[in-house]
Amino acid sequence: MTENLNIHAHGRTGHLSLNRPRALHALTLDMCHAMSAALADWAADDGVEAVILDHAEGRGFCAGGDINLLRHSALNDGGKSGREFFHDEYRLNHQMFEYGKPIVAFMDGITMGGGVGIALPCKYRVATENTRFAMPESGIGLFPDVGGGWHLSRLGGRLGQFLALTGARLDGAECVWAGIATHYLPAEKLAEAKARIIEHPDRIGGILSELSTTPPPARLEENAALIKKHFASDRYEDILASLEADDSEWAAKELATLRSKSPQTCKVALRQLATSETLDSFADNMRMEYRIASRVLTRPDFAEGVRAVIVDKTNDPQWNPAAPEGVSEELIDSIFAPLPEGEEWTPLK
């Protein structure tokens, strides 16, 4: 148990409520363990038919993982506690992806990083007018993990590559358009939706469809052709060159965004998504992402990115390597290489 997670069972419906409002419900290791244990109990309980996942109070849904713990680990224990966090967080992501009963994620508010990792494996993913979805890791020298390789590479239209590199934020309407969310509900309808699901966990799809409204037009759709064109290559230099050759305001804005990101992360993300698209199982994806996480955690960009963006808020990260051409194929290969015997990621038994 943890005070940062409310665990209930209402009749035939399990209910997990993230409750760490001061940190926008960012996940701690204790929260991951408590969620995993509750899900395991309900999986074995024939009386539970479905699970609701939401946040308790304040703005949410979930702003990510415990970045401060990860930075402390990178600077002080050689990444040991950070690797433990990633290992068990990824186990939770995989457990949810393989879960035999429907989970309904209410992405009402900020859904980023680790929040994406627990929302996207769910069968039902509800967006609202408050939803703000992003994988912003390129801005802090990490990479779009928690299953991001799997989910983003399967969006189509090179949208996943665009989101991974730029960290662009999508609203609820854009999430529905992109296939990230399955339903769009006004926030004022969420309490009714949850009450009805608790009453009839066998009718989730019908209940959400009845309460859904038509989302506003997705702004992202206007730029879909540009995204597909300019983010077509898996070579980061090609993407930059393509944007440089376009004199439109949109291209200039996206180019400026990319110039502020970690070149290492951008190259890692492109390799990650290209590789993930060829994998047959989510477990294989998580094994790959754990290899990346184990290496990236202690590389210079992560501690520096968190310092600049989150700790000091100066937004002036000094990336190392500083330019895309400084990030060699050999460096990327070393980040993706298998881990030593006994150190690889394994799913929950």
Task: List the chain domain ranges.
Answer: 5-336
What does the pLDDT average to over 5-29?
96
Which of these is catalytic: 54, 66, 137, 304? 137
Q: At 53, give phi and psi (nearest 5°).
A: -125, 120
64 in active site: no
Taking 70 as the threshold, does the pLDDT of residue 160 lie above it? yes
Which of these is catalytic: 114, 115, 139, 305? 114
Q: Which residues are CB-neighbours of 117 under 8 A, at least 6 positions away? A: 65, 89, 92, 93, 145, 146, 147, 148
The long-range contacts involving 158-162, CB below 8 angstroms and separated by at least 24 positions, are: 158/227, 158/228, 158/231, 158/232, 159/220, 159/224, 159/227, 160/273, 161/231, 161/234, 161/239, 161/269, 161/270, 161/273, 162/227, 162/231
State the chain's maximal CA–CA distance in angstroms: 60
Q: Is 272 left (phi over 0), alpha (psi -120 to 50) or beta?
A: alpha
Pick from 111, 120, 106: nearest CA to 188: 106
What confidence tier does 1 reach under pLDDT thresholds 50, 70, 90?
low
Compute the distance between CA of residue 143 and CA of residue 261 in angstroms, rounded to an integer.
Answer: 11
**Residue 57 has what pLDDT?**
83
What does the pLDDT average to over 248-277?
98
The answer to whether residues 182 and 256 touch, using CB atoms and an 8 Å cutoff, is no
Q: Can you state the percent helix, strand and coil of the chain, rounding each to 5?
A: 55, 10, 35
65 in active site: yes
Compute the distance between CA of residue 104 and CA of residue 197 in angstroms, rounded to an integer.
Answer: 9
What does the pLDDT average to over 256-277?
98
**What is 5-336's CATH topology?**
2-enoyl-CoA Hydratase; Chain A, domain 1 (3.90.226)
The SS3 call for residue 158 is coil
343 in active site: no
Which of these is catalytic: 14, 60, 64, 65? 65
Relative orientation angle of helices 329-336 and 263-276, to the nearest 10 degrees: 60
Please give the structure tokens belonging to residue 342.
């006994």
What does the pLDDT average to over 283-303?
97
What does the pLDDT average to over 204-227?
97
Compute the distance between CA of residue 103 and CA of residue 120 in angstroms, rounded to an integer.
Answer: 10
Please give the structure tokens belonging to residue 255.
């180019």
Question: Strands 5-10 and 13-18, how do they pair?
Answer: antiparallel
Compute the distance between CA of residue 320 and CA of residue 305 in angstroms, rounded to an integer.
Answer: 10
Arithmetic mean of pLDDT over the chain:
96
Which of these is catalytic: 49, 145, 254, 301? 145
Please give the structure tokens belonging to residue 163.
């989101």
Taking 60 as the threshold, does the pLDDT of residue 122 lie above it? yes
Instruction: For the full predicted model, state whether its pTM sits above 0.85.
Output: yes
Strands (E), the chain: 5-10, 13-18, 50-55, 61-62, 103-107, 110-112, 124-127, 132-134, 170-171, 183-184
Please give the structure tokens belonging to residue 85.
């966090």
148 in active site: no
